[in-house]
Amino acid sequence: MAIGKTNWDLSYLIPNPAEALLEEKRANLLAESYKFIDKWKNRTDYLEQPEILLEALQEYEHWAGNFGTSGNEGYYLSLQNALDQTNPQIKAQLSKLTDTSNKIANDIQFFTYHISKIPLAKQQQFLAEPRLANYKHFLETLFANAKYLLTEAEEKILNLVSETSYANWVQMTSEFLAAEERIIVTANGKREKRNFAELTAELRNTNKQVRDNAAKAFNSILKKYAPIAEHELNSILKNKKTIDELRNIARPDIPRHISDDIDTQVVDKLIETVAGRFAISQNFYELKAKLFNVDKLAYYERTVPYGNVARKYTYEDAQHLILKTFNKLDKKFGTIFEDFAAKGLIDVFPKKGKVGGAFCSRGLAKQPSYVLLNYTQQLADVTTIAHEMGHAIHDVLMKEKQSPVNQDTSLAIAETASTFMEDFVLEEIMQEADEETRLAIQIAKLDDDVAAIQRQIACYRFEQELHTQFREIGYLTKEHIGKLFQKHMQAYMGNFVDQPTNSQNWWVYWGHIRRFFYVYSYASGLLISKAFQSMVKSNPIAIDKFKQVLAAGSSKAPAEIFAKAGIDITAAQFWHRGLDAQNQLLENSWKLAKKLGKI
């Protein structure tokens, strides 16, 4: 297969990015948005007559699928910003557009707000109306949210103050940490400066002296900002508590479940099932301690790579591996990957100013998805392509089958397609690896799995207790928060990871707990993926059920989508199936380590 383009082609969004054209696009966005707003904002007939509601929903869907609050310009600028984060012109244009987008969002929210407040008897009539069948679950979701909504004016106020009462606090802590630098001694004996992100990476350095020095510097930064983070966290916990009380929400995690379109009972069963099998992660850390020949791993050493995967993979090598794997699963997957490469929808290599990491960005119904990579020929880079292309395949299948209003996915299953593709590519690689390499890859895979499943569930339980104790006590000191954090980390790590005093500050930089209860989705997505992997391995035609789940979008609730595929996510046994697969990999790793004389 030809490599294709290795840089994004953004001409699908803005053929000519001249400032005058961007201003023209912004004016057109406003015109199209207010065409809808002005037509419907003072009307009530669509709240009473099915045929008029259908007309309004179709026009709303046309707006949402083709314009949204930021249109082609917003998507284009956000992607350009990812490619060059140092460009002040792009940031200035984004700032202008943000003001426009916020105004549109506030002015158009009347539509869904008023629909959500339709009387119960009329709701049932609309849900049973055949002409509204395509919008049934969209309406069900609005109706379910209604009981937690305040007045329209109050909702606008909350939108307007969210930046000062939440976002600015979180951004403050993040920026303080990002600005910090420390000097450490590197593997070659030189004293070199490292910023906070670089120190985080050095914690995984295979040279123990380097990672010990990095940990000392890292902990000094966390200690410095713990008092600030204490005030920040208490402030956003207070803001969360206030909003929940205004909305009469009993549990602090319920808003997350509502926004993810998943029953609280399903999340509770997931949390209970995974926590009940924390022995898996505890057993893994025992194995890892033995492989490193230590009684206990230091807290910051829990993800240090084991062994050496020396092979370098050119981008062409990676494409060949991924295409081979995707085609084995389903020819459609391979075709989508080739299409992305040929059209310039993948930006491959690192460059100055480009954002780190990787992502798949999905825009409006009419816009293509784009994948960003920072490819450096490592094994992890290969699996990252598979991961992000999993998201891309999910997006393509959904757009092919669903109208714009149903082109969304619950956070609960967002990581399913990505981890599914990633794991199959990793298995393809391991088939060609010798036993030493295979053990290293399996340990790396278990590191990732434990981080996504057991660690995130421990974090969720930490969040639950954090919110509960704040609401009981009124203010939590940094010491109190630290003890809660260590308690829940100890629960999943067990006795083979040391929990020194310094680890009590590691909550300071953990952004997950600022986004409130979303971390369960890492575990749910991966465990759903593992269950599907088992199904496909035992019966390859089960891939059709997997594709149907991905293509369903938000047309139904996740539980209903899975039930149609013969899966009951409300049952503990379903989650156990994924955990069994994880445990099997762990047992295989123990056996291989013993066979090779490593333990």
d(CA 562, CA 573) in angstroms, rounded, equals 14
> Cβ of 247: how many Cβ atoms within 10 Å?
16
Nearest Cα neighbor of 22 from 81, 83, 80, 72 is 72
Residue type for position 202: E
Extended strands (E) in 88-131: none
Query: For position 550, what pLDDT does the model report?
Result: 96
Query: Span 117-144, mean pLDDT?
Result: 95
Query: Span 200-206, mean pLDDT?
Result: 89
Query: Span 523-527, mean pLDDT?
Result: 94
Query: For position 477, what pLDDT does the model report?
Result: 98
Residue type for position 72: N
Bridge-based pairing state of the strands 346-347 and 191-195:
unpaired
Query: For position 561, what pLDDT does the model report?
Result: 93
Contact criterion met (CB below 8 Å) for 380 and 426: no
Confidence at 352, pLDDT banded by 50, 70, 90: confident
Query: Span 289-304, mean pLDDT?
Result: 95
Query: For position 109, what pLDDT does the model report?
Result: 93
Extended strands (E) in 328-472: 346-347, 359-361, 370-372
| Sequence-ordered list of residues with C-beta below 8 angstroms from that of 42, at least 6 positions apart, any chain | none
237-241, 310-314, 352-356 — most confident range: 237-241
Confidence at 362, pLDDT banded by 50, 70, 90: very high
DSSP-derived letter for residue 261 is T
Residue type for position 152: E
Helix, strand or coil, per DSSP, at residue 182: strand
d(CA 190, CA 182) in angstroms, rounded, equals 13
Extended strands (E) in 328-442: 346-347, 359-361, 370-372
Nearest Cα neighbor of 349 from 10, 9, 6 is 6
Phi, psi of 48 (to 5 degrees): -125, -30
Contact criterion met (CB below 8 Å) for 426 and 465: no
Query: For position 19, what pLDDT does the model report?
Result: 67
Contact criterion met (CB below 8 Å) for 132 and 57: yes
Query: For position 246, what pLDDT does the model report?
Result: 96
Nearest Cα neighbor of 421 from 518, 321, 565, 345 is 321
Query: For position 2, what pLDDT does the model report?
Result: 60
d(CA 349, CA 22) in angstroms, rounded, equals 28
d(CA 322, CA 575) in angstroms, rounded, equals 28
Q: How far is CA 448 from CA 42, 89, 252, 523, in A?
A: 52, 38, 28, 11
Query: What percent of the chain has pLDDT above 90?
Result: 81
Query: For position 252, what pLDDT does the model report?
Result: 97
Which H or E run includes 191? strand 191-195
d(CA 476, CA 446) in angstroms, rounded, equals 34
Nearest Cα neighbor of 520 from 345, 269, 231 is 269
Residue type for position 214: A
Nearest Cα neighbor of 461 from 255, 313, 321, 278 is 278
60-64, 431-435, 568-572 — most confident range: 60-64
Domains of the chain: 11-149 (1.20.140.70), 164-250 (no CATH), 251-310+410-599 (1.10.1370.20)
Query: For position 94, what pLDDT does the model report?
Result: 86
pLDDT by residue (tens digit) across 314-350? 999 999 999 999 999 999 999 999 999 999 999 999 9
d(CA 342, CA 340) in angstroms, rounded, equals 6
249 torsion bin: left (phi>0), alpha (psi -120 to 50), beta (else): beta
Confidence at 236, pLDDT banded by 50, 70, 90: very high
Bridge-based pairing state of the strands 370-372 and 346-347:
parallel
In this structure, of 41-55, 339-353, 440-454, 555-569, the range with the lowest mean pLDDT score is: 555-569
Terminal-to-terminal C-alpha distance of the chain: 42
**What is the model's pTM?**
0.90
Confidence at 18, pLDDT banded by 50, 70, 90: confident
d(CA 445, CA 582) in angstroms, rounded, equals 10
pLDDT by residue (tens digit) across 410-435? 888 888 999 999 999 999 999 889 99
d(CA 193, CA 307) in angstroms, rounded, equals 27
Confidence at 99, pLDDT banded by 50, 70, 90: confident
Query: For position 20, what pLDDT does the model report?
Result: 65
In 260-363, where does DSSP find H-type helix? 264-275, 279-291, 315-329, 331-343
In this structure, of 2-16, 328-342, 359-373, 505-519, the range with the lowest mean pLDDT score is: 2-16
d(CA 542, CA 558) in angstroms, rounded, equals 18
Average pLDDT, the chain: 93
